[in-house]
């Protein structure tokens, strides 16, 4: 038998029921704090707003001509172009199509998106750096901007589509650029590269501000007077070029009289070895760049705004791929795959070695470009992941035990690559087939680094940069090359087993300057010539060797054409076919990475003291190399070369 509830209990139950009925609407209101998104249009532009952000988009070009945060205009049009723009815009083709691709009236004001699409019809589109007066690249180009109800910023992305009926072509530099209002005076690339940078500073050379894109998913400017920040957030690196070692512009001040703060998202450039987009006759090619987020915030100081931008970057990465993108070649989460496995190092000369700073990636197989840009010098070479901008790449960090997981991979056939600190070379396995929506466990993968015999000595750490060498941390100093003669008046003399490459090996191997008039010149490195520079490596052997010795050089920055090599004052040849990338002239610690080998008769070596010299020829001071790592190996049973 059950008793009836008392009157007081009945009242309490009624109150609880009423409270529960109101709980859901209150929660929904809490989750959607902002005003509903609206999209308005007139004959020349779209305007998107949500009460926090207001953006105006040109219907002619797809440029973002205005972006306001709580009414404050964050862009400038005084530098010769609209405030924020894609270098390859929608002008120059046969027609332009504009439309609202997500109508906020259809979703209760949750999101709006607009599209401006230029139909090439075979005409060249785009006015990026290096483009001719008649345009650059024949492709249909669609630029979109999207705004959500609670977004403190706007998303943008761009789709390129080259149709089979369009002519073959190679693309010039391609990027998104935002020119900011003069109130922005503090530039932040990372936690340790942040500085007050007002217009009057004009520190001369924008290349001192380049950085590795993969390591910088968020960067931008803030204002110490308006307490507002502007940040570019890349939630994925799949659409950028050159993989996890690509050095590129992120921010700088432009060179116009306005000296506007710039924020850039380069997805194809000629910097530091560059990258390639080239399509052939009758080829259909499409690529979606983005979406990435232009995030606006406010705070008490630049550090506070930077920390908030980092937190927002983590949120954007967690949301990738965005579920609101539709109508372009952009697979959803369910259509992508997760690839995992474990790399097992098998190197008898380094038993028990780990894989610190492991990077693993899936890339398009190396290929020959169907066409090259006019004026490109040097022999054609295969386009690998370091120089590819045409295809998507998927990279992730693994752990010291070799375990890795690569999320959100598009369907396709890839080559798997891996590299780790302390391991010369890289792992590669072709024909990795990724099916739509089907994750793949590759299991254990044996990684056997290449050896050319017994290791006699090594200099440096195989890690794709020259940062660990003496003064490597000063690479961004435009005058650093001129300090070498005072630091090493008799050039480098490195004694294996005694010297420390962190103190005794200058990070740039360059012509030795003897010209007091030599000086750094913005955008061009050091102007001046130097004499030939020998780097001597002294080492001892217990007995007379025989067979073949192999000098292996891992190079990560190049301005020289050759390196001459002598062993105990006997010439053993040249290291040639070096890949020019401008890393020295443009103040980087790394550019293109590659390995070169030089084999010689081991009988040139002797028991006791030996000296191997690497000689950079006389010439322009920029014409040197940055070594990543050096090793001498001996195969006593091999035939003499």
The residues spanned by each domain of the chain are 38-329, 334-447, 454-635
For range 400-426, the mean pLDDT: 98
Percent of the chain predicted with pLDDT > 70 = 93
- Evaluate if residue 29 carries a pLDDT over 60: no
Q: Supply the mean pLDDT for the chain.
A: 93
For range 131-154, the mean pLDDT: 95
445-468, pLDDT tens digit by residue?
999 999 999 999 999 999 999 999
What is the band of 380 on the pLDDT scale with cuts at 50, 70, 90? low
DSSP for 536-597?
EEEEEESS---SEEEEEEEEEEE--S-EEEEETTEEEEEE-------TTTTT-S----EEEE
CB 406 within 8 A of CB 396: yes
What is the band of 418 on the pLDDT scale with cuts at 50, 70, 90? very high
Q: Cα angle vertex 160, ends 154, 164, to 5°?
A: 165
- Evaluate if residue 153 carries a pLDDT over 60: yes
The fold of 38-329 is Beta-galactosidase; Chain A, domain 5 (2.70.98)
CB 141 within 8 A of CB 125: yes
Output the CA–CA distances (angstroms, integers) from residue 378 to 375, 381, 595, 635, in the order listed.
Answer: 10, 9, 18, 34
Pairing between β-strand 251-253 and β-strand 247-248 as defined by DSSP bridges: unpaired
Q: Which CATH architecture has domain 334-447?
A: Sandwich (2.60)
Instruction: Please check whether the domain covering 454-635 is classified as CATH 3.10.129.10.
Output: no
Residue 366 tokens, joined: 């190396």
pLDDT of residue 273: 94
Burial of 500 (0-12, 13-18, 19+ CB in 10 A): exposed
- Evaluate if residue 26 carries a pLDDT over 60: no
What region does 227 belong to: left with phi over 0, alpha with psi -120 to 50, or beta?
Answer: left
Residue 164 tokens, joined: 């089979």
CB 89 within 8 A of CB 141: yes
- Evaluate if residue 420 carries a pLDDT over 60: yes
- Evaluate if residue 375 carries a pLDDT over 60: no
Max intra-chain CA distance, the chain: 109
Cα-Cα-Cα-Cα dihedral sign, residues 421, 423, 428, 432: negative
35-88, pLDDT tens digit by residue?
999 999 999 999 999 999 999 999 999 999 999 999 999 999 887 788 999 999
What is the band of 201 on the pLDDT scale with cuts at 50, 70, 90? confident
CB 527 within 8 A of CB 518: yes
Residues 6+ apart with CB under 8 A from 469: 460, 501, 502, 505, 506, 507, 627
Pairing between β-strand 493-495 and β-strand 533-541 as defined by DSSP bridges: parallel
CA 217 to chain centre: 9
517-574, pLDDT tens digit by residue?
999 999 899 999 999 999 999 999 999 999 999 999 999 999 999 999 999 999 999 9
- Evaluate if residue 358 carries a pLDDT over 50: yes
For range 86-109, the mean pLDDT: 97
What is the band of 641 on the pLDDT scale with cuts at 50, 70, 90? low
Convert 324-361 to b/e letters by CB count within 10 Å (16 or more is b): bbeebebbeeeebbebbbbbebebeeeeeeebeebbbb
Q: pTM here?
A: 0.92
569-598, pLDDT tens digit by residue?
999 999 999 999 999 999 999 999 999 999
231-269, pLDDT tens digit by residue?
999 999 999 999 999 999 999 998 778 889 999 999 999
* Helix, strand or coil, per DSSP, at residue 387: helix
* Helix, strand or coil, per DSSP, at residue 82: coil
| Least confident interval from 120-134, 279-293, 544-558, 621-635 | 120-134
Query: What's the CA gap between 486 and 482, in Å, rounded?
Result: 8
- Evaluate if residue 19 carries a pLDDT over 70: no
């Amino acid at each position: 038998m059950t008793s009836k509830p008392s009157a007081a209990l009945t009242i309490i139950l009624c109150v609880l029921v009423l409270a529960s009925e109101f709980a859901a609407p209150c929660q929904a209101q809490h989750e959607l704090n902002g005003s509903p998104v609206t999209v308005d249009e007139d004959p020349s532009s779209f305007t998107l707003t949500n009460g926090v952000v207001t953006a105006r988009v040109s219907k002619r070009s797809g440029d973002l001509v205005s972006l306001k945060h709580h009414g404050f205009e964050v862009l400038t049009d005084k530098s010769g172009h609209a405030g924020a723009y894609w270098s390859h815009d929608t002008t120059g083709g046969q027609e332009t199509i504009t439309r609202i691709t997500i109508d906020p009236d259809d979703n209760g004001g949750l999101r709006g998106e607009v599209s401006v699409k230029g139909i090439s019809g075979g005409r060249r589109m785009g006015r990026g750096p290096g483009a001719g007066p008649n345009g650059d690249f024949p492709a249909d180009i669609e630029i979109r901007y999207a705004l959500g109800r609670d977004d403190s910023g706007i998303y943008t992305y761009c789709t390129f589509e080259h149709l089979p009926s369009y002519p073959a072509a190679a693309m010039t530099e391609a990027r998104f650029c935002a020119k900011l209002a003069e109130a922005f005076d503090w530039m932040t690339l990372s936690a340790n590269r942040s500085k007050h940078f007002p217009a009057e500073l004009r520190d001369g050379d924008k290349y001192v501000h380049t950085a590795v894109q993969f390591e910088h998913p968020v960067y931008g400017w803030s204002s110490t007077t308006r307490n507002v920040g502007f940040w570019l957030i890349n939630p994925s690196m799949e659409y950028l070029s050159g993989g996890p070692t690509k050095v590129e512009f992120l921010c700088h001040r432009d060179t116009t009289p306005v000296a506007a703060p710039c924020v850039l998202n380069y997805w194809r450039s000629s910097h530091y070895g560059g990258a390639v987009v080239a399509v052939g006759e009758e080829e259909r090619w499409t690529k979606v760049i983005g979406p990435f987020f232009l995030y606006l915030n406010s705070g008490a100081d630049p550090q506070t705004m930077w920390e908030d931008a980092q937190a927002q970057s983590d949120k954007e990465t967690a949301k990738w791929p965005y579920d609101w993108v539709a109508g372009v070649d952009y697979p959803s989460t369910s259509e992508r795959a997760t690839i995992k496995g474990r790399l097992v190092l098998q190197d008898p000369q380094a038993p028990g070695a780990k894989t610190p700073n492991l990077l693993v990636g899936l890339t398009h197989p190396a290929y020959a470009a169907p066409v090259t840009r006019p004026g490109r010098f040097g022999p054609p070479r295969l386009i690998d992941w370091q120089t590819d901008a045409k295809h998507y790449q998927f990279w992730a960090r693994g752990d010291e035990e070799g375990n890795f997981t690569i999320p959100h991979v598009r369907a396709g056939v890839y080559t798997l690559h891996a590299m780790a600190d302390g391991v010369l070379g890289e792992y590669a396995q072709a024909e990795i087939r990724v099916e739509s929506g089907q994750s793949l466990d590759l299991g254990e993968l044996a990684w056997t680094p290449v050896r050319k015999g017994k290791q006699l000595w090594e200099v440096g750490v195989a890690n794709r940069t020259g940062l660990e060498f003496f003064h490597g941390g000063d690479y961004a100093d435009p005058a650093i090359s001129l300090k070498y003669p005072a630091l090493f008046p008799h050039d480098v003399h490195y004694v294996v087993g005694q010297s420390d490459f962190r103190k005794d090996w200058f990070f740039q191997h360059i012509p030795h300057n003897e010209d007091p008039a030599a000086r750094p010149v913005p955008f061009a490195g050091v102007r001046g010539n130097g004499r030939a520079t020998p780097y001597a490596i002294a080492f001892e052997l217990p007995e007379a060797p025989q067979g073949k010795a192999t000098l292996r050089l891992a190079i990560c920055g190049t301005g020289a054409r050759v390196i001459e090599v002598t062993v105990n004052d006997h010439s053993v040849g040249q290291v040639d076919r070096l890949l020019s990338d401008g890393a020295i002239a443009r103040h980087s610690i790394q550019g293109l990475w590659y390995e070169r080998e030089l084999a010689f008769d081991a009988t040139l070596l002797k028991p006791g003291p030996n000296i191997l010299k690497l000689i950079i020829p006389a010439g322009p001071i920029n014409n040197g190399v940055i070594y990543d790592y050096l090793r001498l190996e001996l195969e006593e049973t091999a035939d003499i070369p």
